[in-house]
Structure 1
Amino acid sequence: MPQATIREAVTKKSISPSELQKFEVDYEKKIVKVISSKSNNQEIEFTFTSFLDLGKIQNTIKNGRSYTNIKKIKETIAKKMGVKQDELKELDVNTNDTGTVRSTKFSGTLAFKFSSNDTK
């Protein structure tokens, strides 16, 4: 998850970017530490999740079997992350509607989740 995205989420907590005096992201522990002039220079700590929620993804049914629509998942990730589909590598989708993907455009592995339903 890019720091810009995390910073944007923090500013939605009624802290403007100009009020941020310290901004640290610990990706290992999934913690953001912020010192803001608005909070009397006290450190505020936020936790975050690194799951990207893709929303509903329609499954396809062929020969009576339901299949996860990998193409739609890739399209949705590319759109939400602002990358091209061919920049997404090592896409892995689990049977519990979660998965991971890597990219040449962001560091680390991106975890995602979605909900699925069947279409014919």
Structure 2
Amino acid sequence: MFRRIGVLLLAESGRTGEVRYVGEISSDSAPVRCLVRKLGRPGVQSKFCYEAGPTGYGLKREIEALGYECAVIAPSLIPRKPGDRVKTNLRDAEKLARLFRAGELTEI
């Protein structure tokens, strides 16, 4: 099975909510299930998103099977500033978290 490591960020709700680096995670089933259960708390609406890639929709189906919303975002639909060419996993994940929280991303 293909393993992909992704950067994990947690964005608190609200316009000024903090975006915190949590760590890195493998796209394998066990770590994802463990993390989703850990982050999901009673009374708190948790939503997940990730940039489309080699993991396909399997990750989305897994998260939704646990009872949470999950969006897959096309990399080509993520707004970018002109001249913003530096591409790192952490920067991309932070931008994705902020834009998802603001409702500015289109799910595929």
Which bin holds the TM-score, normalised by the shorter protein? Answer: under 0.3
Which fold has the larger relative contact order, with Cα–Cα distance below 8 Å and residues 6 or more apart in sequence? 2
Which one has the bigger helix percentage? 2
Which one has the bigger strand percentage? 1
TM-score by length of 1: 0.25
| Structure number, greater radius of gyration | 1
TM-score by length of 2: 0.26
